[in-house]
């Protein structure tokens, strides 16, 4: 055995090697994070309970570790912090200034930032698809789609931070972390899904997957805009008693890391199936595309059946038309799409990693939800419809991972399973709110 090698580069040197690779920029960022946490504690400790303070302390090493793991996050965090602080300083404790200060009115108030997020995610999706079909220099438009996605994520986070501040300015009893209703969690879902995709885009050095992943992000944004239209959901409302708990600050974000990862995996699975069947000429054999079309058309039908779509007027008609155009475009351009997509092995690897990460966080969220339920309702589990469907989602992905790790699940079956998992997850998230009732009915449409 070469003991010199073991000592120099093996486990004994892992810690020192890790820190020795840090640049001065990494340490400067770490210092800024610590300074920001100290500032936040000094200014807002009066509004924090012991759990909030614990979360703040834990957030410091987490933010530093994430930024060291993937350096673009360092820039993202700094820009979001700078723009959020600019908005807070511009408000100067008076929300009426949001109608008079230019950059608040048009860019940095929570509503403005989230509207810009929505527009930019739509534009990002369009440019990703243009880049997918374009040839020559025009194919570089995928890069523009990627940049727009980054800006959209930035504005989503700025909108979230500023909305948090605006809530406390309305009233100390109204302010809360903005993850409490469908409007707020759809913003959360959109930027989490996009950010996870951008990580994989950088790791695998391909932008072709973005055209598929941004479809599900745009669908979420489309729902967000409709929900804003018919419910005035952008208005900040006080929390109902059931949600006044520090558990919400942990349970909901963990849940939506799971949802976002599962949605990303499903769209990668869809791309995987398209690549597999690109050479198929018998249209009745192109099942993945037809399934997508049926699913997209089912959404407006389901909403109108429940009556929640009527207030939106022709919105869902437009949704169905756009969905049909997307499906038609994928059908006609499947060979070009297949050429642009990365290898089946890469798609399979991204799908697996997304489900693994999503399952880990969804498990954490489920445990946290049980602890929250015990505190709020006196029992860890009550077989409430939301809880039951959360268990179904968990079992579905647990089985997928078991088959992957124990039986080597790959290819078509794995992709169909992941795509079907999105349907199960969507029903657990939205369908339960539409069609069922229970202890979680405060999230109904």
The sign of the dihedral angle between the CA atoms of 262, 123, 143, 277 is positive
Helix (H) or strand (E) holding 427: none
16 burial level (CB within 10 Å; 0-12, 13-18, 19+): exposed
The mean per-residue pLDDT over the stretch 284-293 comes to: 59
Residue 114 lies in a domain: yes
Q: What share of the chain is helix, strand, coil (3-state, %, to 5)?
A: 80, 0, 20
pLDDT at 225 over 50: yes
d(CA 86, CA 95): 14
**DSSP 8-class letter at 247:** T
Each residue of 77-115: pLDDT tens digit? Answer: 999 999 999 999 999 988 999 999 999 999 999 999 999
What is the pLDDT at residue 227?
Answer: 85
Q: Which long-range contacts (CB under 8 A, 24 or more apart) does 63-71 make?
A: 63/33, 64/29, 64/30, 64/33, 67/26, 67/29, 67/33, 68/22, 68/26, 68/30, 70/199, 70/202
Smallest CA-to-CA distance from 198 within 91, 75, 381 is with 75
d(CA 167, CA 172): 8
Residue 176 lies in a domain: yes
Sole residue written with tokens 């108030």: 109
Which stretches within 277-343 are classed as H helix? 287-305, 315-332, 334-340
Residue 5 lies in a domain: no
pLDDT at 288 over 70: no
Report CA Rg, the chain. 23
Each residue of 402-426: pLDDT tens digit? Answer: 999 999 999 889 999 998 899 899 8
d(CA 170, CA 334): 51
Instruction: Share the mean pLDDT of the chain.
Output: 85
Half-sphere exposure of 99 (CA within 13 A, CB side): 2
What is the pLDDT at residue 279?
Answer: 57
Spell 34-54 as b/e; 16+ CB within 10 A means b. Answer: eebeeeeeeeeeeeeeeebee
Residue 24 lies in a domain: no
What is the pLDDT at residue 154?
Answer: 98
Sequence-distant (6+) residues with CB within 8 A of 155 are: 113, 114, 116, 117, 120
d(CA 246, CA 255): 15
Residue 405 lies in a domain: yes
More confident residue, 312 or 364: 364
What is the pLDDT at residue 9?
Answer: 41
The mean per-residue pLDDT over the stretch 197-210 comes to: 95
What is the pLDDT at residue 10?
Answer: 42
Q: Averaging pLDDT over each range in 47-51, 141-145, 318-322, 343-347, which range is the top one?
A: 343-347
Distances (CA, A) of 315 to 224, 237, 318, 355: 12, 25, 5, 32
The mean per-residue pLDDT over the stretch 116-137 comes to: 92
Domain span holding position 383: 110-443
pLDDT at 253 over 90: yes
Binned at pLDDT 50, 70 and 90, residue 295 comes out as low
Residue 90 lies in a domain: no
d(CA 26, CA 252): 30
d(CA 137, CA 421): 37
Q: Which two tokens stand for residue 305?
A: 């059946």
Reduced to 3 states, what is the DSSP secondary structure of residue 282? Answer: coil
What is the pLDDT at residue 257?
Answer: 96
Q: Averaging pLDDT over each range in 40-49, 109-118, 221-230, 276-285, which range is the top one?
A: 109-118
pLDDT at 236 over 50: yes
**DSSP 8-class letter at 108:** I
More confident residue, 67 or 284: 67
Residue 34 lies in a domain: no
Q: Which two tokens stand for residue 44?
A: 């807002």
More confident residue, 53 or 291: 53
Helix (H) or strand (E) holding 24: helix 24-44
Q: What percent of the chain has pLDDT over 90?
A: 54
Domain count for the chain, please give it. 1
Residue 151 lies in a domain: yes
Binned at pLDDT 50, 70 and 90, residue 156 comes out as very high
Distances (CA, A) of 100 to 104, 106, 214: 8, 10, 34
Contact 110, 159 (CB under 8 A): yes
The mean per-residue pLDDT over the stretch 337-364 comes to: 95
Contact 310, 372 (CB under 8 A): no
């Amino acid at each position: 055995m070469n003991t010199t090698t073991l000592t120099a580069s093996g486990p004994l040197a892992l810690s020192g090697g890790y820190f020795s690779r840090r640049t001065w920029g990494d340490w400067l960022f770490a210092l800024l994070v610590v300074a920001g946490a100290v500032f936040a504690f000094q200014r807002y400790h009066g509004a924090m309970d012991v759990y909030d303070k614990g979360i703040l302390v834990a957030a410091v090493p987490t933010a530093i570790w994430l930024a060291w793991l993937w350096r673009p996050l360092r820039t993202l965090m700094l820009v979001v912090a700078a723009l959020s602080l600019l908005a807070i300083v511009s408000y100067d404790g008076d929300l009426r200034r949001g109608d008079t200060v230019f950059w608040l009115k048009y860019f940095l108030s929570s509503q403005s930032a989230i509207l810009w997020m929505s527009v930019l995610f739509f534009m990002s999706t369009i440019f990703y698809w243009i880049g997918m079909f374009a040839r020559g220099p025009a194919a570089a438009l995928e890069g523009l789609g990627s940049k727009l996605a980054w800006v959209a994520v930035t504005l989503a986070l700025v909108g979230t931070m500023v909305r948090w501040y605006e809530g406390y300015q309305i009233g100390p009893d109204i302010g809360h972390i903005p993850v409490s209703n469908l409007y707020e969690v759809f913003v959360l879902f959109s930027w989490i899904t996009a950010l996870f995709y951008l990580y994989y885009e950088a790791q695998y050095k391909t932008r072709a997957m973005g055209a598929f992943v941004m479809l599900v992000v745009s669908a979420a944004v489309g729902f967000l805009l409709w929900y804003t239209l018919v419910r005035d959901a952008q208005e900040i409302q006080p929390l109902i008693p059931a949600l006044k708990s520090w558990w919400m600050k942990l349970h909901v974000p963990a849940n939506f890391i799971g949802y976002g990862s599962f949605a990303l995996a499903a769209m990668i699975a869809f791309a995987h199936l398209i690549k597999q069947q690109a050479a198929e000429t018998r249209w009745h054999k192109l099942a993945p595309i037809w399934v997508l079309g049926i699913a997209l058309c089912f959404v407006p039908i389901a909403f109108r059946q429940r009556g929640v779509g009527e207030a939106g007027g022709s919105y869902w008609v437009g949704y169905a038309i756009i969905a049909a155009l997307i499906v038609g475009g994928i059908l006609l351009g499947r060979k070009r799409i297949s050429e642009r997509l990365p290898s089946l092995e890469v798609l399979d690897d991204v799908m697996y990693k997304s489900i693994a990460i999503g399952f880990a966080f969804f498990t954490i969220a489920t445990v946290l939800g049980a602890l929250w339920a015990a505190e709020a309702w006196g029992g860890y589990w009550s077989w409430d419809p939301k809880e039951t469907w959360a268990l179904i989602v968990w079992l579905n992905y647990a089985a997928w991972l078991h088959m992957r790790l124990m039986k080597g699940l790959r290819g078509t079956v794995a992709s169909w399973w992941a795509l079907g998992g999105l349907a199960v997850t969507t029903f657990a998230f939205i369908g339960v709110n539409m069609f069922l009732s229970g202890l979680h009915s405060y999230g109904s449409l």
